[in-house]
Every structure is written in structure tokens, then in C-alpha cells.
Structure 1
């Protein structure tokens, strides 16, 4: 029976000297080029623009292991005359195409001929571009063939002292092709077959012997990086987290794979990795430590925790969750708003925010909707002698409690309205900003309207996050289950918004004993100060996304998990839609709460 998993800080060990060699599996070796079926294709067209010109001839040769398996050739009626210079170049005249099949008749036959193959062409973007455009005009889905461009391969292995250029005719002469290209589709395709085989012969000594190697052949990986691909040898083919370690055992980078650790780590040593800083990191790495996880959710959570624990220099996100700011409505006779780094019992908070700038935008949104004081010092219940009101009081944006313009009771009504917008229904803030956006949009002051939209968005994000997190933070324990693809169950134990344990059982195993094991062996979690949870904010976002997905069942809940009917999340979606209709999209609406679903009601238990 599977045992419950308790999430704790982990110690990582690497294989020591003298470890047994690892025999690579077939899925690691890839597909040898001799076993790959290539369809070498060439087109003749009425011009060079795929969206405007038409195909006049298709020629293709299917080969595998140096053997020709079949050929495809047909003229195509372009639906109009062939330009004179094209007739001179190709020898295909308008009269030759009278009675020829149309592309609507030809394309399905070609796609069937090429099905399951790798497309090859000389200057592939031209030929494949015309084929894709024809499929789009016919409303046919493009199969997404792998594509090899012999021009790009030639640029890798044919030097200038061998050939003045990489034209098909030049390369065919260089390699002694049996067919001379003559701007007819089948002849050019046959010549390209010989060129392809010659190029693959030159690439073999460079280590390009499998289909997967062709992806890096035209975008070569530095030799020192490619040699380090052995760091991925022996890694498991399962979800988990990987840690690149440097020469002093320091953690350089933490990453996650929700499917296969081995495949994900291997991608760092191929041309699929385009980030310069990752190439620099790979050059420093001495080994890769895997942390196998039972599910993608556990893998993502462990990644966040390990990044926060080690603060790797090559990770750019989630390294300092304790620095994420909050907006606080202070607990004093005349409350005010401030941007803070922690949550304390008593005052009202929203957040956390991704940056202090976003937190300040949320403060500005509340000040725009309510006449709350904006001075930073504490005010006594009785005004000090000689106190003077600020300019905000003169323009009606503050009730001037500093001079006695408002007493504690009157000011409390304003503070209570702010508190309700922060913790419950934010309609007052949304309506005030929507009215301002409409006015500015009518006046075509779109830059200012976009700034108002962003201010409202920042507030609604912070309020929605606090409301969603705060409800889960008060739940002492929650057990949920979701069906796996094989009919089993993925079980999750959450305590105060933190993943305390997880397990997966197959469809033949009774999950109830495993739930009991989760209860007994789950991580102990101390209650936090809501709305902060006992976890990294992004971890709580991940848990909420998992809990709210279709098919999740609540097994046990110790506490209340609920959400206001008019919560900030719902108002946020409406406000965003209105703003997008009224404001030119100068500043994108980027969500700083990863994994937070829009418009999904929370479960009530």
C-alpha cells in the first residue's frame, strides 16, 4: 500500500565515485537517422509570396535508410495565368496547367503521402510556407510535420572555400548528385535527396546520428555545454525537482518537471535552451540532484520551497517571499493605509503584492474612492492646539480629523467602508474607477484612463488574494482527492494554506487508510495570522488552483472554507472586462498571482 508523503526539507546526495555505469534506454538514445522516413519536397509557384501566389507543381521523394520508397509529382492549376518570367524560369506555361487538378484536389493526396514523415526541403520556409498557406485557405489542419532545411544544414558543414554559395545547383554539383536541378519540382526534389544524404554524411562525425540531433545541428550547442549532457544520465523518468550544484556544492538553480526529470534536464544541453544565463549556469554545474515527487503538485510546491531555502543565484523568482508587501489599514483612532512587510493581528490587510509599486497602486485606488487621511503620523483623539489641515482637506479629499473636522465616530464610518471594500465587497472602489475610466475614455485621454485601470486592477488583485488566502489560512486541516488518469486517487492534505502531505493510490487500493496515514504523518503547521497563510503565497495559489479544478472532492474539512458572494475575485473579472472595452490596451493586464483562476467560485464547506 502506498504510504503518505510528508513534505520536509530534504538532504540531497549524489552518486559517489565508482558508481555503476548507467545503460541508456531506447527512449534516451532517440531515433537513428537510418530509421527515419524523410519526404523531400520541392514546389514551383507563380511567385514568392505564400499568401498571394499559388503552387503550380509539387514534386516529392520518400526515402528511408538511403532507399527510395516512393515519388509524388503533379502539376497544379493555380487558378490564373503564370507570369512570363516564371514561365521562362521553370518552363511551366499557362497552357500546360489547363485541366490540371487544383490544390484542393492535390493537397489531401500529398498530405497522405507525407503522413508520419519528416519534411525536407531546400530553403524549407519557402516550400513549407506555401503548403501551410494552402492548407489554411482550404480550412485543413496542418499536421505539424518535423521540418529539416538543407540550406541550414549546408551552412553548418559546407565552407566558403568549397562552394561560393549554398544554392541547390551549387551543392548538387559539389556532391555529384545523380540529377541536375532544373527548376522542375521532381528533378529538384531528387537532387535534394542526394544533397541531404551527403550533408548527413558530413554531420555524422560531429555526433549528429539521430533525428533528435538534427534539432541542434543547425543551431549548434557549444561543445563544452554538449559534453555536460552526461549530468542528465541516470535521472528518473518521473515528476520532481532538480538542483544544479556548483563546484562548492552550492545550489545554482532549482527547476521542476511535471513529467520527466531526465528529459527536462537534458533540454538544457540542446538548442532548445536559448537563455544565455542558463548556458552560463550549465558551464558552472558539477552535478544535478533529483528530488522525485509523487505528483506534479508536489513537484511545484517543492520547487518553491527549495528556491526560498537556497536562494539560487540563477533563479529570478520566489527567492524572498518574506519581502512581498501588504497594504494595511492601521488599528488606531484615525486609521490610515500603509505598505508593510508583515501581517499583524488586529489591522485589516490585503495582499501580498508582487512589488511595492503594485501595493502603492492599491493604496492610491482606495484613496481615490474614500476620503481617508493620507498623512503618515498617528493622530490623537483630541486635535492638538495649532494643528493645520493639509491641502487634501481644502479640496474635499479628507475630512481633516487632525483639526477636528471629523471626530473618531464620524471618521470610523469612512474607515469601516474602506475595511468592507478590502475584506468583502469592493464594488465602491470598482464603481468609482469605472466612472473615471469612462470619463477619460470619452475625452480620449487613454493614457490617463489606462493608469486608472491599472490602479483598480492592482487593488482588486490584492483584495482577491487576501480573501482567497485568508479563508484557507483559517482552515486547520483539509483533505481533498482527485481522480488520476489510471483511475486511482491523488490525495492532498492542506493545513493553514500549506501542503502538509500528499499521496497517490492506484484504483485497486482503498484510499481511506492512506487518508488516516496522512493525518498521522502530515507536517505540523502552526496557525498563521490571517490573511497570511503558513506557506509561500505562490504555494497557496498552487493549492487553490488544484482544489478548484473540476473533479476534486473534499474528503474532510476542519474549519470553514468559504468566500463572500460579492468577493473581489468576481468584481475583478467584471472590472477588467469593462476596462478593456473602454481603454486602449497601452499597459497589459498581467496577473501577479500565478495559477489563480479567473471567475471560479470557491468551495464552501
Structure 2
């Protein structure tokens, strides 16, 4: 694939989260804040004092302190606790005058507080009451951090006064806002010193530092250092450089870092992280290229911790054999021009689809190859006695024309409109449900679903797998173009043009340098079927323009795609129950609408 052109993207105004910031703690500006209030609930109490200290890299950059008139009397027990009386705040500014100054002081910083939900809750309530939008500060709470690294052997509790003594804070907390904020600064620095050996070295690490992430996992976070913040694929490698896991993301560094935090809940991923010794990034031009590279790398390396797409060779197809009296066969690959549907992820699902067709059509189920006309008299099988087969094996006077019509109906259902099969099995489901034989009805529905979805996959893949080359483009948000070259369903080249750049010379270059792809046997594409499905999903998105195609890329109006989600089975059941012409017309209308 071609490498992407350098396309500038306009800045987007977003509120950064912990995972987005990715800033070393030494470069983070913190505002450590503490409030004194008239009560414990923001909805029925007011702020009496705000104290805050701005720090970065261990250095104090500024302080903020003011009393606040809460607009109500200060309760006696609060006055005894804090020393702030109603008389002290009577001449103080009210919160509507104080809040803008504090928000400006804390702008573009990370808020820190001990028991942060209390202090932040009052600040948010004040913003809401005054009509100010909450700035969306990233918030660090020193209380859960202390619970993570300070044991009961060291401190009897995790109150601010106790922690201040443990970390030898230069200021003793005394239930006054600025003093408590100064003490919290020293506690914060003490906690960060303890967290650093556990791998908590960046701001986003603090978001999950209070969760019980094993130290050996958190220390592995350094594997993400230096990874690009770009879309692409990442490979976790083991001690012997073997590939353990392959993933994809729009931001490689951000995604890889998440594996070393409490955000990762999967046990097998935690096990993989303990083994991993390195991460290899593969930057891709577009998310589509990243998804496809992920598929190819999984198929190539079969990583033990990936669960999907590792063995495309194990997928199955259902084939209508090419012989005088065709029959259905489950095969490992597509051969010849005979009708095929699939691929199926398991042989069992393929057999369910075969059973669905046998339920609806009188196809023979014997496995021997039959001559057009038998010279040796044969006895018909049990299925013939049940009127489930026309017994072409007994044909002595010429070809069995009845069976020829059955084979033609099977071909049509596999490659075109499966409506007769859907109606037949829907009617059977209705009968079983009327008899309260719900388990059998569920089995028939499962078979029908397996057949219809496989037929839809094959019918979508077939035109793409026959197209020697297809070039398509989609406009990017920056004003450029995302270009792809697809050959027989396989992504052969891709690139991104910048705003105002003429894309046609890039298209010519892509066509000249694209991967050479050998023609496959349709409907199987020249790639992993999941890759072709990803390409199809991209091509069918709104706004994609077809630039060039060597062969027609079409899909029949009446096809299995119209039934892929079985949305019209209810209409088919209604038709089967009523048997009216109106029901048939409604079914056809539903099929057309689904297309």
C-alpha cells in the first residue's frame, strides 16, 4: 500500500480527557483547591472560603484565597470547626464575584483536592446556579490515591491531617481553605513519589492509579513511550519476538497505554501484558488500511491472544455440484463455475444452510455421482417415498426433467432471489409455532438464517471478486481525498491527498504502483473474506465516489441481501398463514424496500 500524503487537519475544539492528554507529570500544571462551606450538601449550603495553590514540577506558581459571603448564616458548629463566623463573611464578596476570578486562576490546569467530589461538587453547583459552563477540568483526588499507596501500618486513616503528618507537610491543615490547600500540595507530591515506581508517570496514569492494577503490569506502561499518536496497527511481542496480539486504533499510543491501566478488564489481555516485551507500531494512512492490515497480520502470525480471523483457511462454502443431477456439498474452497454461497465460519453453520435448502427444495441427498440415464434398475430411496426427491437415480427413459426444475430453483436461490426458500421455511415455522413446537421452530429459523446470510455474503462478494480493478474516493474532513485501489476484492493501494491537491495524479500513481493481484475463483475474493467485507462496507458508505472500474459492480434487486436480516420473515409467515395474493404482494414490496 502507498504511504499517506501529508494532509493537515484543522484543529477541533474538544475537552481533553486523561487518556488524550498524555503529559508527563512534571509538565502538568495543578491547581490544588480546598473549600470551606456552611454544610455538606451543595444544594442547601454555601461556600464561605476558597483557597488554591497553583504548582508545576514541584514549584509554586501562585496562590488564590478569599472569604465568600454564602448568603446565609454560618452554623455554630461550622464556626467552631473552621473559625469562620457570620461576621467575618458579612463584608466578603459573594460567589458571583469570586467564581470568575477562580475559574480564570484555574484555567487550563488540572484540579486537585482531597475528597475531590466534595469541593468540585460545590464549584459545579455554583457554576450551574450562575449560568457559567463548567470548564470540564481533569480532576485528581488525593484520597483514593492515598488509599492505594498508604497502608494502615503507616497511618491510622487517610484524613488530610494524618497524611500531612506522614509526609511532613510544611503547613498543618486547620480547616482553613488556603492552609488545607498548601498541605494537600505536599501530600500530592508525597503520593506521586510513591506512585512513580509503579509506572504512574503521566497524567493519564492518575485516572486509574487508585485501581488495583498489579505493579508489574503498570510498570510495563513504558512500552507505550515513543509510539505514534496516529491511526494504525500495533503488535505486542513476546520475549522471543513472537507476535502475541495484534490490534488497531485511531491513536496507537493512547490505545496501547490503556492496556496498562484498570480500564483493561480482560483477563487474557492482562496475561498477555505480563509476557509482552515490546510493541511494534504500523502507521496507516486511513482507518480502513489499519483494519485490513490488522486482518492480514492476524492471519499471518495467528497470535495466541487474538480470537478472530486467525484461520481463514478453515472457512467453508456450500456448493451446488456440477453434474447431471446436482447436489449440495460443503467444501473448503470455491472451485469451478458452480454456484457457491458462503463463506461460513464453521462447518456446522454450513450444514445448517444445507439443511435449510433440503427443507425447502427436493434436492437429492445421496452422495454418489449419477448418470443421466441409468442402465441398471435402482430402487428409490426413502426420501422419494416421502415425495422429498424425484429419484433421478431411477431415470431410465431420459433425463429427469422434474429434477432439472428443482436444480434450477436451487441455483436461483443460491445466486439470485431466495424468496421461495424463505416463504417455504417461514410457512413451516408458522405451522410448528401453531402446534407449540417452539424448539423445532427455532431450529428451522436458525437454518434459514444461516442460508440467507451466507447467500447474501456470496452475492455481495461475487461482483467485487470479478472486478479486476476498482478505484474509489471519499472526501476527508480536511478537504482532501481518501483514495483506494481494489483488485479482485483485495485492497491493493491507498493514499490520502491534502486540501486543494489534485487527486488524479495520485490516482494514476496508485494504479501504477498498486499490488499485483491474481484473479480468484468467484465468489471468493483474492483476499481474506473479512477484508473484502471491510472494503465493501467502505465502498457503500455515503459520499464514496467511483472513479474507475474495469468490470461491472452490481447487485441484483431481488437478492439474498434483501433478506439478510430476515426482516421480512414475518411477512412471509403472514402470507403462509393467509395464503392470499395480497400477502404475496406485501412480501414482494418488503423485499424491494429492503434492497
Structure 1-normalised TM-score?
Answer: 0.71
Q: Name the CA distance, whole Å, in 2 between partners of 1:509 and 1:230.
A: 39
Q: 2:2 aligns with which of 5, 14, 18?
A: 5
The offset of 1:343, in angstroms, is 0.3
Q: Name the CA distance, whole Å, in 1 between partners of 2:43 and 2:390.
A: 75
Using the TM superposition, name which of 399-408 and 281-290 deviates more: 399-408
Shift in CA distance, 441/161, structure 1 to aligned 2, threshold 3 Å: farther
Q: Name the CA distance, whole Å, in 2 between partners of 1:332 and 1:417.
A: 16
Deviations along 1:453-507, one digit per CA (max 9) or x if unpaired, are: 3322222211111001101011111111111222111111111111111122212
Q: Name the CA distance, whole Å, in 1 between partners of 2:289 and 2:110.
A: 37
Q: 1:535 aligns with which of 522, 527, 535?
A: 527
Residue 411 of structure 1 is matched in structure 2 by: 403
1:329 and 2:320 aligned: yes
The offset of 1:514, in angstroms, is 1.6
**What secondary structure sits across from 1:238 in the alignment?**
coil
Residue 21 of structure 1 is matched in structure 2 by: none
Q: Any stretches of 5+ residues in structure 1 without a counterpart?
A: 8-25, 47-53, 77-87, 89-105, 133-140, 182-186, 583-598
**What secondary structure sits across from 1:507 in the alignment?**
coil
1:35 and 2:29 aligned: yes
Q: Any stretches of 5+ residues in structure 2 without a counterpart?
A: 5-19, 72-76, 78-95, 125-132, 575-591
Q: Name the CA distance, whole Å, in 1 between partners of 2:359 and 2:70.
A: 69
Shift in CA distance, 576/124, structure 1 to aligned 2, threshold 3 Å: farther
Alignment map for 1:447-486 (pairs within 5 Å)? 447-486=439-478
**What secondary structure sits across from 1:243 in the alignment?**
strand
Using the TM superposition, name which of 398-407 and 378-387 deviates more: 398-407
Q: Name the CA distance, whole Å, in 2 between partners of 1:242 and 1:331.
A: 45
Q: Is the 2:145–2:191 contact (alpha carbons within 8 Å) kept by the matching residues of 1?
A: no
Residue 289 of structure 2 is matched in structure 1 by: 298
Residue 204 of structure 1 is matched in structure 2 by: 193
Deviations along 1:120-143, one digit per CA (max 9) or x if unpaired, are: 7888899999999xxxxxxxx999
Q: Name the CA distance, whole Å, in 1 between partners of 2:404 and 2:351.
A: 23
**What secondary structure sits across from 1:352 in the alignment?**
strand
Shift in CA distance, 70/368, structure 1 to aligned 2, threshold 3 Å: farther
Residue 572 of structure 1 is matched in structure 2 by: 564
Q: 1:513 aligns with which of 505, 515, 524?
A: 505
**What secondary structure sits across from 2:531 in the alignment?**
helix
Shift in CA distance, 233/195, structure 1 to aligned 2, threshold 3 Å: closer
The offset of 1:180, in angstroms, is 7.8
Which protein is bigger by CA-based radius of gyration?
2
The offset of 1:200, in angstroms, is 5.5
Shift in CA distance, 215/348, structure 1 to aligned 2, threshold 3 Å: same
Q: Name the CA distance, whole Å, in 2 between partners of 1:336 and 1:74.
A: 88
Using the TM superposition, name which of 245-254 and 36-45 deviates more: 36-45
Q: Is the 1:62–1:71 contact (alpha carbons within 8 Å) kept by the matching residues of 2?
A: no
Using the TM superposition, name which of 440-449 and 346-355 deviates more: 440-449
Residue 314 of structure 1 is matched in structure 2 by: 305
The offset of 1:526, in angstroms, is 1.2
Q: Is the 1:41–1:121 contact (alpha carbons within 8 Å) kept by the matching residues of 2?
A: no
Shift in CA distance, 286/34, structure 1 to aligned 2, threshold 3 Å: closer
Q: Name the CA distance, whole Å, in 2 between partners of 1:70 and 1:451.
A: 72
Using the TM superposition, name which of 165-174 and 305-314 deviates more: 165-174
Q: Name the CA distance, whole Å, in 2 between partners of 1:74 and 1:427.
A: 76
Structure 2-normalised TM-score?
Answer: 0.72
Q: Is the 2:234–2:247 contact (alpha carbons within 8 Å) kept by the matching residues of 1?
A: yes
